[in-house]
């Protein structure tokens, strides 16, 4: 069953706490994206990787957000310290090797920071 | 700055009719165009991709692209209540190097 897997599905945390979200891309996909979705802003690209190398993280608040790919089967997005304005749904998506192809989304992590 | 614009809706269409969803984009260098469907509380699901000018049909769905006008549309024929969802237009600049830029989506309601 080829799909992007994200954990946790839901996370409630207190302001100031560290949050780590994980993503397992579809096997064989070499591009991984992190998106954030809110009602106001819609889907925003935070960062993406190709062959585990970060290509663009300009959409990410650098002071508190970090994204990594420790290996080809795991991508992480970390927020430290978390703030209420970080409350959103965070999606991971992956894409195959061929250029100009589509991205396939995971089920998302719904983050609430109180 | 790359922008993708969609009418937020809601767009209400009677069952069995044709639903027409529109999207404009600002970056003339855009090469790949996608339509995603998102049900409430779910993740975006790819339904169509289009890369060259003209029409592309897949079942009840037709994507239309006009690069000169920087315009892409999605037609849904014989609309069903199960088509009620938010439809997101996404654009990639080129070479597969960039992430997708999404519009904020059009909320479609199919009335039985």
Assigned token pair, A21: 């979200």
Digit-coded pLDDT (tens) for B58-76: 999 999 999 999 999 999 9
Q: What is the pLDDT of residue B24?
A: 97
Q: What is the pLDDT of residue A57?
A: 85
In this prediction, residue B29 has a pLDDT band, given cuts at 50, 70 and 90, of confident
CB atoms under 10 Å from CB of A89, counted, come to: 17
Share of chain A above pLDDT 70, in %: 96
Mean pLDDT of chain B: 93
Give me the count of residues in chain B: 112
C-alpha dihedral (B44, B23, B81, B42), degrees to nearest 10: 10
In this prediction, residue B94 has a pLDDT band, given cuts at 50, 70 and 90, of low
Residue B2 forms contact with A (CB below 8 Å): no
Q: What is the pLDDT of residue A102?
A: 82
Q: What is the pLDDT of residue B67?
A: 95
Between A41 and A1, the more confident residue is: A41
Residue B79, min C-alpha distance to chain A (Å): 25
Residue B101 forms contact with A (CB below 8 Å): yes
Secondary-structure breakdown of chain B: helix, strand, coil percentages, each rounded to the nearest 5: 5, 55, 45
In this prediction, residue B97 has a pLDDT band, given cuts at 50, 70 and 90, of low
Which residue of B5, B96, B98, B99 is the best one to mutate when testing the A interface, meaning the one whose CB has the most A CBs within 10 A? B99
Please tell me the distance from the alpha carbon of residue A13 to that of residue A22, in angstroms, as a whole number.
16
Residue A1 to residues A5, A6, A60, B79, Cα–Cα distance (Å): 11, 14, 31, 29
Please tell me the distance from the alpha carbon of residue B72 to that of residue B26, in angstroms, as a whole number.
12
In this prediction, residue B2 has a pLDDT band, given cuts at 50, 70 and 90, of confident
Please tell me the distance from the alpha carbon of residue A54 to that of residue A69, in angstroms, as a whole number.
8
């Amino acid at each position: 069953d080829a799909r992007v897997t994200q954990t946790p599905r839901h996370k409630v945390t207190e302001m100031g706490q560290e949050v780590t979200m994980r993503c397992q891309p579809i096997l064989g996909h070499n591009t991984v994206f992190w998106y954030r979705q809110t009602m106001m802003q819609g889907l925003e690209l935070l960062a993406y990787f190709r062959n585990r190398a970060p290509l663009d993280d300009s959409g990410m608040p650098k002071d508190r957000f970090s994204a990594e790919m420790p290996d080809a089967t795991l991508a992480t997005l970390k927020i430290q310290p978390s703030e209420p304005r970080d409350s959103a749904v965070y999606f991971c998506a992956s894409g195959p090797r061929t250029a100009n192809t589509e991205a396939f989304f995971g089920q998302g992590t719904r983050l609430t920071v109180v | 700055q790359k922008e993708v614009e969609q009418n937020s809706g809601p767009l209400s269409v009677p069952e069995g009719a044709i639903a027409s969803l529109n999207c404009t984009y600002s970056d003339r260098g855009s090469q790949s165009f996608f339509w995603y469907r998102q049900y409430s509380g779910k993740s975006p699901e790819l339904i169509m991709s289009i890369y060259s000018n003209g029409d592309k049909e897949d079942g009840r769905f037709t994507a239309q692209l006009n690069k000169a006008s920087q315009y892409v549309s999605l037609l849904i024929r014989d609309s069903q209540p199960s088509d009620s969802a938010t439809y997101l237009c996404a654009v990639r600049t080129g070479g597969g190097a960039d992430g997708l830029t999404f519009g904020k989506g059009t909320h479609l309601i199919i009335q039985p």
